[in-house]
Structure 1
Amino acid sequence: MKIQLYILRTVGTRVLGAGLILFSILQILDLLEVTTDILDRGLGTAGVLYYAALRSPRLIEQVAPIATLAGGLLAFSQLARESAIIAMRATGISAYRIVGMALPVAFLVMALDFSCAQVVAPRTDPVLSDWWRATTPVAERKDPGPRSFRAGDDLVIAASASGDGRTLNAVKLYRRDKAGRLIERIEAPSAVYAHGGWTLIKPTTARFNGAQTTMTSAARLTWPSPLHRQDVQALFADAPVPSAATARRALLNGGGDRPVSFYETRFLSAFAGPFASLVMLLLSAPVALANFRSGQGAVLLSGGLAAGLIFLVVNGLLSALGEGGMLSPALAVWGGPVIFAALAAYALIALEG
């Protein structure tokens, strides 16, 4: 038990330290780009801190895998230099068991990564986007332009949306029959989301029956649509990052403006993404068996760092291919983690043997 606590403390503190350093660097670089704008808007130090707080979940998501790799390399190299690994193996503890003792650190990082990416960030991103848009000087504000997307069986065009996603402005709905022919067009100045459903305000409906067109108007019209206000926030965001919930709703005929392959890949990535931290820890584990007196340690340290960076590049490339429909979403999402975890296991087995 004491050995496990020692390994957990050694690996955990290094991962935490690496995470804090990397997070601070990313936060500083991010603030360097926006601090001048925030101060020019008269928001002061409070505005800078507010921006930094809202950006933190996305930065933690980016830092988590690299921090696990860096912390794992530092921790295992220290254990190897101090001959702690040799002493543990002399008592009958295998290298596999030593790595297993460090796995709770990776699981904790995975949980933090998933929470930030799928729970916290989807709530802070719209708040940050709305705050940034509201504090932009009127002369510098840019019209994001209309958005076109699918919502169930309807094709929708909306000029703009409120920050909370509850209002769509200048809405046009197009409905088609099973043969793909346009049968109905509805135009409304706005659509309001309340009590789990949408209502069109002062809609004008045009129904097409061959060469005949019938026009009707109403004060209000219920719009039965699976579109959720969070879908609207994602669709009208400056840099939308679909969460698992948003991607799932898009696959279930909710709001979407991308191919099905994009949302399938994003949905699977929400659950596969945190496993990058586990892969990073496995890639750093062979360093524990290195002989630093012979120079093997430097080779394995460099190899582990290079393997981790290559893994991030390959994983991103495969995800892009999956989103574009050129690769199966499951293969695109899980291919990188499985391949690199297998390579890490092979290296560990070879060194242990």
Structure 2
Amino acid sequence: MRKLDRHVGWTVFVAILLVLAIIVGLDAIAAFIDEADDISKTYTFGQVGLYILLTLPGRLYEFIPFAALIGCMLGLGQLATSSELVVMRAAGVSTGRLVWVAMKPALLIAIMGFSLGEFVAPETEQMAETQRALAQNPGESFGGRYGIWNREGNTFLHFNAVEAGGVVHGITMLEFDEDLLMEYSLRARRASFEGGYWTMEDAVLTNFSSWQTTRETHKVMRWDTGITPELLTVMAVEPEYLPISDLYRFSRYLQSQGLDSDDYQLALWGKILQPAAIGALVLVAISFIFGPLREGTMGFRIFAGVIVGIVFRTSQDLLGPASLVFGFAPIYAALIPILLCGAAGMLLLLRAR
């Protein structure tokens, strides 16, 4: 019986990895073509390739649920086409046991994906965004496509690029009074964190508080603020690629600043519930193989898997903004598609028995 379990599990595991490699490869090629439009003297062909390479862990994490769905369909479908599933059931192997055997490799993939998204993707995504921002906008202006904005009270800040270790490039600071009139602006080429405060380099301060503007230049300038390198690192990466701890801390920070944190709340619950989402999608895949797609062709199974994956992802994408409009908690936006998918899989399995 153990040999049977290993055979089914290995078939499903290999199918999931194969589908994941194909999907991520196609997505990386499409991203490379898109980035190639921005190639310039500072953003070279090699830097584009490095950017795509650094974003691969994030792409792997993003497509694991989709790959688990289609890979499970293909792996079990191969066993069904060769009548191996029929022989197993005729030999007394229950449907429940086959479901659990097929579920185990998917759960292993889910654990691997969770570890990748929690410990690897945040680091590589930040490195990718930093090197691209520095290459495309090496100056001090904030007119480039990339960079991050932040607000601290009535002070609005823009950073061209954020490096790990407490170094930022291209800082622009705009300070307003209570009547929203600009008091001063500050630009600096670079700033580094010195343990409690920032040291700006090549700073230019323009003061608008009098009838005429005054301008000061500082080779080195101290900047005291509550903004930390950890906070800027979180801001430099898209919410879906951040670890759970950073998502929680940053959402609390945004709430304390009176800013909207729903995007980070959605990403937080999406990451926490991703293993459950993978389990629900795999359950649907298994129910299809034991039910309506038992005699289907491989092409039709791939088509069905793509449709189910698109519907699942679209429902998540629609419920996210809906939670902002209708005011329900972000956890429901992540949980409802999982519950519906799991319920549909269980219903199909019960009807197939």
Encode CA deviations 1:135-182: one digit per residue, 9 max, x unaligned.
23779x86259966455xx45411435422544834457899xxxx99
Task: Say whether 1:277 aligns with 2:278.
Answer: yes
The question of whether the paired residues in 2 share the 8 Å contact of 1:268 and 1:329 is answered with: yes
The question of whether the paired residues in 2 share the 8 Å contact of 1:290 and 1:297 is answered with: no
1:79 partner letter: L
User: Percent of counterpart pairs with the same letter?
Assistant: 19
CA distance, structure 2, for counterparts of residue 175 and residue 101 of structure 1: 64
1:327 partner letter: F
Q: Which residue pairs with 1:197 in the alignment?
A: 196
Task: Say whether 1:351 aligns with 2:352.
Answer: yes
1:103 partner letter: M
Q: CA RMSD in A?
A: 4.0
CA distance, structure 1, for counterparts of residue 65 and residue 333 of structure 2: 18
CA distance, structure 1, for counterparts of residue 62 and residue 261 of structure 2: 25
Q: Which residue pairs with 2:82 in the alignment?
A: 82
Task: Say whether 1:25 aligns with 2:26.
Answer: yes
Q: Which residue pairs with 1:128 in the alignment?
A: 128
Q: Which residue pairs with 1:99 in the alignment?
A: 99
CA distance, structure 1, for counterparts of residue 282 and residue 119 of structure 2: 24
The question of whether the paired residues in 1 share the 8 Å contact of 2:175 and 2:185 is answered with: yes
Q: Which residue pairs with 1:64 in the alignment?
A: 64
Gaps of 5+ in 1: 205-218
The question of whether the paired residues in 2 share the 8 Å contact of 1:161 and 1:232 is answered with: no
CA distance, structure 2, for counterparts of residue 82 and residue 246 of structure 1: 48
The question of whether the paired residues in 2 share the 8 Å contact of 1:150 and 1:257 is answered with: no
2:321 partner letter: A
Gaps of 5+ in 2: 206-220
Between Structure 1 and Structure 2, how many residues are aligned?
Answer: 326
CA distance, structure 2, for counterparts of residue 8 and residue 235 of structure 1: 40
Encode CA deviations 1:62-107: one digit per residue, 9 max, x unaligned.
3212211111111111222222222222232211211111222212
The 1:294/1:344 distance shift into structure 2, 3 A limit, reads closer
CA distance, structure 1, for counterparts of residue 33 and residue 86 of structure 2: 46
CA distance, structure 2, for counterparts of residue 194 and residue 107 of structure 1: 41
Q: Tell me the CA shift for residue 15 of structure 1.
A: 0.9
The question of whether the paired residues in 2 share the 8 Å contact of 1:79 and 1:288 is answered with: no
The 1:328/1:280 distance shift into structure 2, 3 A limit, reads same
TM-score, reference length from structure 2: 0.75
CA distance, structure 2, for counterparts of residue 253 and residue 121 of structure 1: 22
Q: Which residue pairs with 1:211 in the alignment?
A: none
The question of whether the paired residues in 2 share the 8 Å contact of 1:149 and 1:155 is answered with: no
The 1:250/1:133 distance shift into structure 2, 3 A limit, reads closer
Encode CA deviations 1:282-309: one digit per residue, 9 max, x unaligned.
1110233248787699987765543332
